[in-house]
Amino acid sequence: MGLYRRAFEHGFRRVDPERAHHLGFRAIRLGAPVLGRLPGPAGEPVTAMGLTFPHALGLAAGFDKNAVGIDALGALGFGHVEIGTVTGQAQPGNPTPRLFRLVADRAVVNRMGFNNDGAEAVARRLAARGRRAPGTGPVLGINIGKTKVVPEDDQAAVLADHATSTRLLAPHADYLVVNVSSPNTPGLRTLQAVERLEPLLEHVRTVADSVTTGRDRVPLLVKIAPDLADDDVLAVADLALATGLDGIIATNTTIGRDGLRSHPAEVAEAGAGGLSGAPLTARATEVVRMLRQRVGPDLTLVGVGGISTADDARERLAAGADLLQAYTAFIYEGPLWPRRIVTGLRA
């Protein structure tokens, strides 16, 4: 058992998960000056969406919601970092406790509720950081979503809310993601229906283009849930092709609880929310495979959900993913984990 695993088993797992996250992330940021002097892992570069990624593995949205540690996370070995989800208005998220570990399943349940500082504050932070020249930092994705107080059945309000985030954040993004698949904002997943999704993506595309003149077009992706029926997955694939979307991120967390090893009482105590980690591996891989078969070779697919080992990563790439993202395994495996995966992929 490695040093981090021993520390997790005998210390970290006894700390409230959200508090442990903040403590761990603070340590990463404090270590940024040292981390920044380390050579990056020797990965195989990936060209996708007109961007060059140093390797396939990135950090999924949810870890750095407010753009406070992008470069420190890149120095740990992530080739791209997706911040957010950022909403048009700042919001505190759901009441605590709202983050739970299911250790026996190497899984996490969260019902954070898009807690973040809001698009204006995040945009100021990104402006102070400045855009990085290619090859001098991780590729930066910005994940945006609906503010909770905006009614999901008021299409004009939903469009205006996303326009606010897009206008403020697209100028700082290497790529932009519309997140319509979190289970923790009431009604959000209804936006995955193609008749709701198409005008939303088209509006975000128009606004992004209007605020990024003079630079390359910002790639636009959508993030979908693993709980979509297969026909709905294929409908999103068709929509992506029809609207000229640059990519799909598959998948977000699941509301399902089937096949868990954790004691039912522990699962019940965790309660509602999105489940991430190893239990998602099979379904997330299946969704990527379906999407690739439907969209052909050109659309970028980002595989996320249950990637814990280099074998998991290879399987997701073989299923059709161009890029990979992870989060939960990072929690369980520690700060050296990204480099191990990148090295394992190259081997």
Distance CA 290, CA 269 (A): 34
DSSP category for residue 304: E
Query: Catalytic one among 181, 182, 276, 308?
Result: 182
- The CA-atom distances, in angstroms, between 163 and each of 215, 243, 276, 343 are 19, 18, 29, 40
Q: For residue 131, give every residue at least 6 positions away whose Cβ sits within 8 Å of its Cβ, in sequence order, or none.
A: 172
Q: Is residue 45 within 8 Å of 347, Cβ to Cβ?
A: no
Structure tokens at 291: 């999407």
Distance CA 141, CA 136 (A): 15
Distance CA 135, CA 301 (A): 22
Distance CA 245, CA 27 (A): 37
Task: Give the DSSP letter string of 61-125.
Answer: TTSSTTSSSHHHHHHTT-SEEEEEEEESS-B--SPSP-EEEEGGGTEEEE---S-B--HHHHHHH
* Alpha carbon distance, N-terminus to C-terminus of the chain: 22
Distance CA 287, CA 316 (A): 10
Distance CA 308, CA 312 (A): 6
Question: How far does Cα 158 stand from its chain's mean position?
Answer: 21
**3-state class (DSSP) for residue 29:** helix
What backbone phi and psi angles, to 5 degrees, belong to 313? -65, -45
DSSP category for residue 192: G
Structure tokens at 280: 């998602």
Catalytic residue status for 276: no
| Element holding 238 (H helix, E strand) | helix 230-243
Looking at the annotation, which residues are catalytic? 182
